[in-house]
Amino acid sequence: MVKPHAFTAKKTGTIISMLEDNDFQIVGIKSIKLTPELARRFYFVHQGKEFFERLINYMSTGTVAAICVEKDNCVADLRKFIGATDPAKAAEGTIRKIVGVTVEQNGVHASDSVDNARKEIRFFFSDIELYSYRYLQY
C-alpha cells in the first residue's frame, strides 16, 4: 500500500515502476481514502501499542493506493525490496530509502506474512478486482 504522503507527493508511479522492474506483477490496484474506522480495522493487530493512534491519524489523512502484487516468494521478496521501516536505516535502492521520509511516512506498507497478505488483500479487493498472471491461458 502506498501511504498518504507518498501518494500526495506523486510517488505512486515511481513505486509501481520499481515493483514491475523487479519482477513483481501488479494484479490489483485502487486508490482509497481510509477513514479512521477503516484504518483501525486494517491495523487492528497494532491496537494497544504506543504508536497505534498516531498511525491511525496519519493513515486517515489522505488517499492511499492499495496494490496487490504477485511473484514467487512474494512476501519475503517484497519485504526485502521495500527496506527497513526507518528510511534512514533502509538499504540503498529500496522503496523506503527512495520515497520514505520518516518511520511513519516511510512510503509503503507491505504484509509481513502470507497469512496477513491474504487478510490484507481481502480487506481491499474482491475476487473480481484481482487478475492473476499465473493462470493465463494463451
C-alpha cell at 80: 526485502
Q: Residues 3, 5, 40, 109: which is the catalytic one?
A: 109
C-alpha cell at 67: 496494490
C-alpha cell at 118: 491474504
Reduced to 3 states, what is the DSSP secondary structure of residue 128?
Answer: helix
Kindly provide the residue ranges of all beta strands, DSSP E only, lying in the chain, ordered along the sequence: 25-33, 63-70
As a dihedral over the C-alpha atoms of residue 127, residue 132, residue 135, residue 137, rounded to 10 degrees, the angle is: 110
Is 109 in the active site? yes
Q: Which residues are catalytic?
A: 109
